[in-house]
Amino acid sequence: MISFIVRRLISMIPVLIGITLITFILINVVPGDPVVNMMGKRVDAQTIANIRHQLGLDRPLYIQYLDFLFKAVRGDLGRSFYNHQDVMKTILQRFPTTVKLSLSSMAVAIVIGITVGIVSSVKQYTFVDYSSMIIALMGISAPVFWVAIILQLIFGLKLKWFPISGYSGIQSMVLPAIALGTRFAATIARMTRSSMLEVIRQDFIRTARAKGLSERVVIYKHALKNAMIPVITIIGLQIGGLLTGSILTETVFSIPGLGRLSIEAINNRDFPVIQGTVLFTALIFVFTNLIVDISYSFLDPRIRYDGGES
């Protein structure tokens, strides 16, 4: 197991270098100059040249990239072109908020998704199954911002149960968590259902039932555990997506998270912040996938990473 983790950690290095290089090329290829953007309606060639020089943007591109890379290795992601804040510090300030939002929405998604998935599979081809799957389909299809506005209107404006926007305690996280979690709940529900249906038809489940085990034990102890492998994969992939894909939810609910930081940086062509958030996000993705892979071995004893049978 340890050698597997070490191998995976080493393989991350070229991945991360590749990501930073692609990001660097993209931000320099895409039209939109940070200094021109900074200047707004007034433009003056001399001022632009001066600021570009002060920011080091007039250096050759490969020097700019290597400078970024060497500093990044030492944990220095530079300073924002706009507010001169330390990028690493800014990311670390925003990250806990995004983590809270992602985990709470994932909790919503897991509780709803797995419950609905199990019920649908157990009650296959019944009204409950059909209606759950129709609702799940609607959940997958509904855009996050639309769900968010509907929740704000009903539970914020009309019923006044939860704050409409802002980030102030657990109560303010309820609507964003539901808005962001709805789509994933639907995905998890569909995945759980199909995976459960596949497992339920296997011989060992028949054996379990033949042994006289109660249906509850058969479903929750034998079937569910085995059906969880693809579901865990989906959850793992989606945690990464949630951490980075919460931009719309953060914008609609005015939550100061990583998503908003990165989109503002892209709009403003704030290169150090773009590079920093992309690198940080890539790290999160890579580590999440590693954790998911490790979790397989706990869920399925047949999966071993240390030269054993897999």
Amino acid at 51: I
Question: Given the structure tokens 């930081």, which residue do they identify?
Answer: 261
CA torsion through residues 8, 11, 17, 18, sign: negative
Interacting residues with other proteins between 156 and 175 (CB under 8 A):
156-157, 160, 164-167
Closest CA to 186 of 236, 106, 105, 112: 112
What minimum distance in Å lies between the beta carbon of 25 and other proteins?
16
Output the DSSP codes for 265-304.
Answer: HHHHT-HHHHHHHHHHHHHHHHHHHHHHHHHHHHH-TT--
Residue 84 in the binding site for other proteins (CB under 8 A): yes
Burial class (CB in 10 A: 0-12, 13-18, 19+), 70: exposed
Q: 166 vs 308, which CB is nearer to other proteins?
A: 166
d(CA 220, CA 5): 31
Give the C-alpha distances (Å, rounded to integers) separating 197 from 93, 205, 225, 255: 44, 11, 13, 39
Which of these segments, 30-38, 119-127, 207-215, 276-284, binds other proteins (CB under 8 A)? 30-38
Tell me: does residue 43 bind other proteins (CB under 8 A).
yes
In angstroms, the CA 67 to CA 221 distance is 54
Question: 32 vs 143, which CB is nearer to other proteins?
Answer: 32
CB of 76 to other proteins, least distance (A): 14
Instruction: Tell me which of 12, 128, 140, 149 binds other proteins, using CB under 8 A.
Output: 149
Instruction: Quote the strand ranges of 34-130, DSSP E.
Output: none
Report the nearest approach of other proteins to the CB of residue 163 (Å).
8
Residue 27, CB-side half-sphere exposure with 13 Å CA sphere: 24
Among 183, 190, 222, 260, binds other proteins (CB under 8 A): 260
The Cβ of residue 239 has, within 10 Å, a number of other Cβ atoms equal to 23
Binding mask 94-133 for other proteins (x = CB under 8 A): x---------------------------------------
Report the nearest approach of other proteins to the CB of residue 113 (Å): 27
Residue 146 Cβ vs other proteins, minimum distance, rounded to whole Å = 11
User: Does residue 147 touch other proteins according to CB under 8 A?
Assistant: no
135 binds other proteins per the rule CB under 8 A: no
Q: Which helix (H) or strand (E) holds 91?
A: helix 87-122
Joined together, the tokens standing for residue 127 give 């009204």
**47 near other proteins, rule: CB under 8 A:** yes
Where do contacts with other proteins occur on this chain (CB under 8 A)? 30-34, 36-44, 46-47, 50-51, 53-55, 79, 82-85, 90, 93-94, 149, 152-153, 156-157, 160, 164-167, 251-257, 260-261, 264, 266-269
